[in-house]
Structure 1
Amino acid sequence: MKGRGSVVALTSNVSVYARNEAGNVTGRLKIGSGDITSHSERFVIYDTKENELLYADEDEIRIGTKQFTFTGSEGVVMEGPLETPEVSSSPGDSLTLQSLTASLSAQAAENLDLSGGSGDLTMSCLGNLKLSTTEGKLLLSSQDVRLPGLPQSDTGPLSQDNIYEVCVCQNGRLFLAAPSVGCQSTTLCDET
C-alpha cells in the first residue's frame, strides 16, 4: 500500500526489539498506554534536516536546539554542577540565580566579571560582605566614591560644615573625625 502509513493498535503496549547477530537484545522501544520507554546504549532524536536535537547515553545528555526553554513555574533543580559559557535571560526580563537554603558560588579559573551594562549592580547580605584578593589590589574606580554609614569618632566635637576626615584604625576599620580633632585614638578602633 504505497503512500499509506501503518497503524498498529493494541490494548496494552507495542514493543520493538533490536537484536545483534548472536540474537541478544541490543535495544528496545516500548510504547505503553501512558508512556514511551527506550532501552539502548544511546538515544538520539534528529529533526527533518538530520540536525541532532537530543543525544543521550550513560555519560552525557546533549541538547542541540538553538534555544532550550524551561517552562516550569518552580524553575530547574540540578544536583550536580552546571557548566555553560553563558546564562542569560530573555530581553527585558531579569535573571535571578539563588540558593534559598544554602550558599551560591560562582568561580572562575581566570576572571569573573559581574557588570550592569546600563543599570546598577547591587550586592547585599545579612552578614558580612567580604572583598579580598590574595595577590592583587582592590580598586574602586569612579568619579564619585561614597561610604555612607561610617561611624563618627566619639572624641571631640562634630564637624560644623559636614566635612570630615576619613580615619583608619590599625585593624582596618574606617571612621570619620572632624578636621579640628583629627584621627585621635577612639574606642571605635577597639571594636572588631
Structure 2
Amino acid sequence: MVREQYTTVTEGTLVERPESQNVYKIGIYGWRKRCLYLFVLLLLAILVVNLALTIWILKVMWFSPTGMGQLHVTKDGLHLDGESEFLFPLYVKEIRSRMDSSLLLQSAHNVTVNARNSEGEVTGRLKVGPQMVEVQNQRFQISSKTDKPLFTAEEQGVVVGTDKLRVTGPEGALFEHSVETPLVRADPFQDLRLESPTRSLSMDAPRGVHIKAQAGKIEGLSQMDILLQSSDGMLVLDAETVRLPKLEQGTWDPSGSSQGLYEICVCPDGKLYLSVAGEDTTCQEHSHICL
C-alpha cells in the first residue's frame, strides 16, 4: 500500500519542491550536428560550382537576349553569321545569304538537296558529288533575270533559249545524231568546219541550204563523192570564175588544129565528162558514157 505524504504549510512559509530526476534536452548535438553542418557545406559548395559552370557556359556559348553566339532570332527567322556545321538533317523553308556575301554549302562527301511532296516522296533531287553533279527531276530549266528560259532539258528534248550558243572548246561540238538549227556561224576571223571523219555529211533543208563566206573561201573535201542535189529546181554556180583545176588542159596549135583541146559535156543525170574538141560539139559522139 502506498502511503501518500502531504505537507501542510502556512502562509509566509517557503517550501522547496523536490527536483525532477529526468531532464530532456531539445536539439541536435554531438556527431549528428557535425554531419548536418558538413552536408549543408557540401550543398553550398555544389550550388556555387553549378552557378559558376552556368555562368561559364553562358559566356562560352555567347547567350544573349537575341540568340546564342552568332545565331540570332529575328522576326523573319534565324540569322547566322560565319560558318556553321550541322550534324543532323536541317529542315527549313528558305536559306539565303547576306546581300554582301555568297552562300556556301560544303560537305566532306556530297551535298544533296531534296524536294518532297505532302506525302513525303522525293519529287526532285540535286546532288553535288566529288565527280559529278546529278539532277533528278522531270524538267531542268535555267532562266535569266527576266524569267526568260535559257536552257531547258526534259525527256522530249533539250531547248537552248539564248540568242547565241557558243562552244569554246578547241575540238568544237560533237553531235552523235542529227542537229536542227537555223544558223551555224563561226566567230569573227575564225574558220567554220563541218566535219564527219568516218561517215557522210548531209545538209538538208526544205527551202534550200545557204552557204556564205563573206571574207574567204568555201572548201569541200571528201574521200569519195560530193553530191550537190536539188529536188525541185536547178544548181546554179554564180561566180566570176568557175574553175576545175584537176581537168586536163589543152594546148593551142598555131596551125589552128583542135588537137589537145577538150570540151566539158554534161549527161542528163548531171554527170560531167571530157570530149575531144572539134569544130562542132562532140558530146553526142561520147553519149554512151551517160548510160
TM-score if structure 2 supplies the norm length? 0.50
Any residues of structure 2 matched to 1:153-192 within 5 Å, and which? 159-160=253-254, 166=263, 168=265, 173-179=273-279
Q: 1:71: which partner in 2? A: 168
Q: Sort the Cα spacing of 1:40 and 1:150 in 2 relative to 1 into closer, same or farther, 3 A.
A: same
Kindly indicate whether the alpha-carbon contact (under 8 Å) linking 1:151 and 1:176 is maintained by their aligned counterparts in 2: no
2:199 to 90, 97, 102: 102
Contact 1:167 1:183 in 2 (8 A): no
Say if 1:31 and 1:115 are closer, same or farther in 2 by CA, change over 3 A: closer
* Residue type of the alignment partner of 2:209: L
Higher RCO, Cα 8 Å, sep 6+: 1
> 1:17–1:28: 8 Å Cα contact kept in structure 2?
yes
Matched positions, count: 186
The structure-2 alpha-carbon separation of the partners of 1:167 and 1:105, relative to structure 1 and needing over 3 Å to count, comes to closer
Deviates further, 104-113 or 30-39: 30-39
In 1, Cα distance between equivalents of 2:283 and 2:191: 47
Q: Which has the larger radius of gyration?
A: 2
2-structure distance, mates of 1:116, 1:9: 50
Provide the rounded CA distance (Å) in 1 between the counterparts of 2:266 and 2:169. Answer: 52
Q: Does 1:46 align with 2:146?
A: no
Alpha-carbon deviation of 1:80? 1.7
Report the CA distance between 1:120 and its aligned residue.
3.9
Pair 111,135 (structure 1): closer, same or farther in 2 beyond 3 Å: closer
Which consecutive unaligned segments of at least 5 residues does structure 2 have?
1-71, 73-78, 82-96, 98-102
TM-superposed deviation, 1:92 = 1.5
Task: Give SS of 1:173's match.
Answer: strand
- The within-5 A match list for 1:107-186 is 107-133=204-230, 136-141=233-238, 149-150=247-248, 159-160=253-254, 166=263, 168=265, 173-179=273-279
Indicate the SS of the match to 1:84.
Answer: coil
Q: Secondary structure at the match of 2:206?
A: coil
When residues 176 and 120 of structure 1 are mapped into structure 2, their CA distance, relative to the original with a 3 A threshold, is farther
> What is the rounded CA distance, in whole Å, between the counterparts of 2:127 and 2:283 in structure 1?
81
Q: What are the Cα deviations for residues 80-134 of structure 1, in whole angstroms up to 9, with x where unaligned?
A: 2111110000111110101111110011112222344454444454544445555
Identity within the alignment, %: 28
- Give, as a single letter, the amino acid of the residue that structure 2 aligns with 1:175: S
Worse-matched range after superposition: 97-106 or 117-126: 117-126
Q: 1:118 to 1:162 in 2, by over 3 A?
A: farther
Which whole-Å CA distance do the structure 1 matches of 2:104 and 2:166 have between them? 33
Match of residue 29 from structure 1: 126
Residue 182 of structure 2 corresponds to residue 85 of structure 1: yes
Q: Which amino acid aligns with 2:275?
A: F
Question: In proportion to residue count, which structure has more helix?
Answer: 2
CA RMSD of aligned residues (A): 3.9
What's the CA shift for 1:64? 2.8
Distance 1:68 1:170 in 2: 43
**CA separation of 1:37 and 1:115: change in aligned 2, threshold 3 A:** closer
Change (3 A) 1:29 1:98: same
**Unmatched runs of 5 consecutive residues or more in structure 1:** 153-157
Change (3 A) 1:121 1:28: closer
